[in-house]
Structure 1
């Protein structure tokens, strides 16, 4: 893992722990443009991605009152930013499990699925140890984290059909470029959303699917349900 990826992951930790998981709050904390900060969090290879340069490392560590070298993982104090805090919305002794509700609906990575509870997931909840939940969820309140099952191939290879998708339902608005669960014309989708001017571009990671746009008129039937922050692809191996 190169230093720019380490910086990106640590910036995500700062966003989740100190900024309520919101890019807009992170941008305000850093006194930077929201679009610029959003591009700092892009994965490697994504168009318009920006790396966190050395000067910006200093600015970030200063803004959060962090020891020098924290963002690069070089500080002795490079553990979780806030020590001893329970996950928001959960009171645990460190050993009890954290349950995340699995909703009985599948969201389409294709042409959309009518939201009439037609699809019922076999799972009802997923339980994590408290320590592991803290590691992967950070400061996100588990009260708002839900899991849904993806269906279709339009978000391949990022999200495979049948994957468990962890959604922060507290972010029910556009919070910078990213993957969202949203309802449009009574159908539920998992797609990448990008804002351009007054329009939202709906993007599939699978290149065979065309992009489509939502203007102000179409947005009357558009409702964001949450922002995806973890995808758990599942591959089944069958033995004779």
Structure 2
């Protein structure tokens, strides 16, 4: 899908961590400040948020996505890849000639297997897409991001090494759809299945490989965060099996 000669893949964090910190502070102000933001995030303290704002430390990809979801700004805006005004103007309509959106690409390899711990969770570049292409997928272009799948548990739907477009605005888990989940320190790409008694199962498409489903009941809900729904899968031509 996105070979090097097909995409605009380059490091573009708008200069420094200070820029990201400023945007986190502005985004937090939309919901009442850093204390309010802390209450919306999982496992992120007020002191850690202050370190993000001051540039002393860098948030993980999953945290960036959570901040965007909690404050209503786009991932692209938060990462400095969308300069249409400040956070207070995020709901203003885009100019009609803005046909391209640059999606942040994370080096977070979400496992289509038993779960991988992401190695480098800061964006490593960006990929340009037509907004209409993403809208036609049913995605919100300003909330999309890219990550890579590893493992064979979602084969043949998602082969090993496929690049995925996820939409961080779609965090309501619908039965039968595929999502990027963060389970504690694991990043997973799995299909969601709801049982009649209200249990959520993260399942694999590769039935022959025998990957077990992971069950979530009410007492485990704090372990699970939804990064976004997988809207598009891209990969090289698959070999004949």
Q: Report the TM-score when normalising by structure 2.
A: 0.53
SS of equivalent residue, structure 2 residue 221: helix
Describe the shift of the 1:99–1:90 C-alpha distance in structure 2 as closer, same or farther (beyond 3 A): farther
CA deviation map 1:46-99 (0-9, x unaligned): xxxxxxxxxxxxxxxxxxxxxxxxxxxxxxxxxxxxxxxxxx9743427x5332
- How big is each residue's C-alpha offset from its partner over 1:90-128, in whole Å with a ceiling of 9 and x where there is no partner? 43427x53322212211000111114527x88x622213
Count how many residue pairs are aligned between Structure 1 and Structure 2.
145
- Of the candidates 197, 215, 236, which is equivalent to residue 234 of structure 1? 236
1:159 aligned partner: 158
Q: Among residues 202, 208, 227, which one is paired with 1:225 in the alignment?
A: 227
**Structure 2: gaps (5+ residues):** 1-91
2:131 and 2:141 in contact (8 A); partners too: no
Contact 1:169 1:227 (8 Å CA) reproduced: yes
1: CA distance between counterparts of 2:93 and 2:153? 34
Alignment partner of 1:220: what SS?
A: helix
Identify if the C-alpha distance between structure 1 residues 106 and 89 changes in structure 2 by more than 3 Å, giving closer, same or farther.
farther
Greater percentage in helix: 2
Asked whether 1:91 is paired with 2:90, we answer: no
Query: Structure 1 residues 131 and 225, CA, compared in 2 at 3 Å: closer, same or farther?
Result: closer
Partners of 1:179 and 1:145 lie apart in 2 by 15
Is the Cα–Cα contact under 8 Å of residues 179 and 190 in structure 2 kept in the other structure?
Answer: yes
Query: Contact 1:92/1:130 (CA < 8 Å) preserved in 2?
Result: no
Q: Which structure 1 segments of 5+ residues have no match?
A: 1-87
| Matches of 1:226 and 1:132, distance apart in 2 | 18
State which structure, 1 or 2, has the greater radius of gyration over its C-alpha atoms: 1
TM-score (norm 1): 0.53
